Chain A
């Protein structure tokens, strides 16, 4: 049971004690709330007294009569608004002053209770306010969570972008100081490493662009009737040079399948899956990509004969910037964004991605996309 504190502001003691009595045994529960709410009342007889009490301790709910000696309810509401006090206000007004009720709600009051009111009218207004209070709380935690995730993303990103710069700076400084000798040949290894870091940084930036693209750039008109096998073949030819270097065979099998999607989304997906299948493969290994349709589902399957992963590694796989680090992945570069991009694209189309993997034997990545 969560207790919300209510400040009742009315110059008539009868009303104050009436409200107090009505709310004393009242609880609010909605099926979507974890906890029931009960109420605890405090009283103020004037606007000035109310403001003083608000300064000391802010209740969750304020029941505010408009007609008060001295400062009226609208005056109090104005100050609450100016001071940005985080409180749910219900104005108590007479039926004759609907104008005030209208103004009050536009000035930030959540509800108004016309006077005279019955216990049930008061209760239903309190129920409404409690529901709003609950939603407001949920909204603010959701916002906080969102902020946290964005923040985390940016900080890891800046780490990933700064690391290659630090390495490059170190190497350049080394050359400047002739640390390894006077001849350019002495720096072959350093230059090779530097180029690799530049390449890594480039691929991170490219992935990052894909990432922002799938997050920000959603336009209906880009949807086309795409031949998936063609798209797979295209990605295959992009990755071929790397595969030849490592003596890896890539095959594309399966049927002609069409899917309505933004073709660049599919390219990003195929490119990421295929380049992983090659990168994390063994010398002389195999990669197979196939596209098929069963009932209302499209299946894209990418199989490799690579290093595979343990169950624990698989569970980490789709998180942003997570790269599986073990002795087998040492020396393989990547941004840590690829699979999180693939899974986000699949989700965008109402689908998902599954992995089957056996360490030292290989992995199967299966993207399922619903038709329609």
Chain B
């Protein structure tokens, strides 16, 4: 059954977020590749390809998540990308990914504000992977 396990890429520079997400994702039966920077994520993407990616927005740069998402979508448009972040309204950027305006420049499928419930994440991943 192991070969059927789906791989999820988690990129976050907060080691606790990595720990928490990894714990839950593994318990839900996913394979997890965890990286703590955009750079490391890009290194992984050179040889590997996840079935889904959860990217923190602010890592080395304020918009590392967007950059990564763009890179993933460019060569693997079918991989669903979720962007998670603790900055939202304060940045003054509307992240409503469902609006056509945002769709045109944010190359991600979903935007998740940190502080989300793990159940919420679980449903979201199921939606994209099942």
Partners in one complex: yes
B114 adjacent to A162 (CB under 8 Å): yes
Known contacts A151-B92, A170-B16, A325-B60, A159 near B87 by CB under 8 Å? yes
| Cα distance A197–B114 in the bound complex, in angstroms | 16
**Is B118 close to A, CB under 8 A?**
yes
| Cα distance A163–B60 in the bound complex, in angstroms | 15
A166 adjacent to B87 (CB under 8 Å): no
A171 adjacent to B16 (CB under 8 Å): yes
Contact with A along B92-104 (1 / 0, CB 8 A): 1000000000000
A174 adjacent to B86 (CB under 8 Å): no
| Cα distance A151–B89 in the bound complex, in angstroms | 12
Say how far A23's CB is from chain B's closest CB, in angstroms. Answer: 42
Interface residue tally on A, bucketed by range: 20 to 34
A325 adjacent to B13 (CB under 8 Å): yes
Instruction: Identify which of A154, A174, A331 contacts B90 (C-beta below 8 A).
Output: A154
Closest A-chain residue to B24, C-beta based? A179
Say how far B67's CB is from chain A's closest CB, in angstroms. Answer: 16
| Cα distance A202–B27 in the bound complex, in angstroms | 32
Q: Which residues 164-197 in A have Cβ within 8 Å of B in the complex?
A: 165-167, 169-171, 173-174, 179, 193, 197
Contact with B along A249-272 (1 / 0, CB 8 A): 000000000000000000000000
**Is A106 close to B, CB under 8 A?**
no
Secondary structure at the A interface, as helix, strand, loop or mixed, is helix
* Inter-chain contacts of A162 with B (CB < 8 A): 86-87, 114-115
A179 adjacent to B115 (CB under 8 Å): no
Closest A-chain residue to B37, C-beta based? A325
**Is A158 close to B, CB under 8 A?**
yes
* Inter-chain contacts of B37 with A (CB < 8 A): 325
B23 adjacent to A166 (CB under 8 Å): no
Say how far B12's CB is from chain A's closest CB, in angstroms. Answer: 10
Instruction: Identify which of B14, B20, B90 contacts A158 (C-beta below 8 A).
Output: B90
**Is A155 close to B, CB under 8 A?**
yes
Say how far A30's CB is from chain B's closest CB, in angstroms. Answer: 36
A167 adjacent to B16 (CB under 8 Å): yes
* Residues of B near any A CB (own CB < 8 A): 13-17, 19-20, 23-24, 27, 37, 58, 60, 85-87, 90-92, 114-115, 117-118
A-B contact pairs, 14 of them (CB 8 A): A154-B90, A159-B85, A162-B87, A163-B17, A163-B86, A170-B20, A171-B16, A171-B20, A173-B117, A179-B23, A179-B27, A193-B16, A197-B16, A325-B13
